[in-house]
Amino acid sequence: MSTEPEPLAHRQVALVDLLDRLLAGGVVLAGDLTLRIADVDLVRIDLHALISSVNTDVPSPWEPGEE
């Protein structure tokens, strides 16, 4: 019987477990999309998003706090 760990490509991970790991550390998404015809930019979309879990112990930077 082999005690080697299963290769990562053959592991099955539940979507909930994957989301839990991603949100625990945070995820940054960035991307650019440009629709152009004949070298003329018609539509440009820039996406920059930070996805992270929420912790009630850390105050939100967007809500006024006590000073």
pLDDT mean by block of 10 residues, the chain; 67 residues? 65 79 80 92 90 71 64
Burial track 5-43 (b if 16+ CB lie within 10 A, e otherwise): eeeeeeeeeeeeeeeeeeeeeeeeeeeeeeeeeeeeeee
Greatest Cα pair distance, the chain, in angstroms, is 64
| Rg of the chain taking only CA atoms, in angstroms | 21
- In total, how many domains does the chain have? 1
For residue 41, what are the domain limits? Answer: 10-51
25: its two tokens: 């550390």
Tell me what pLDDT residue 59 has. 66
- pLDDT at residue 9 in the model: 65
In a domain? residue 62 = no
Structure tokens at 38: 């004949």
Is residue 3 in some structural domain? no
pLDDT of residue 37: 93
Evaluate whether residue 24 is within a structural domain.
yes
pTM of the entire structure? 0.41
| pLDDT given for residue 50 in this prediction | 82
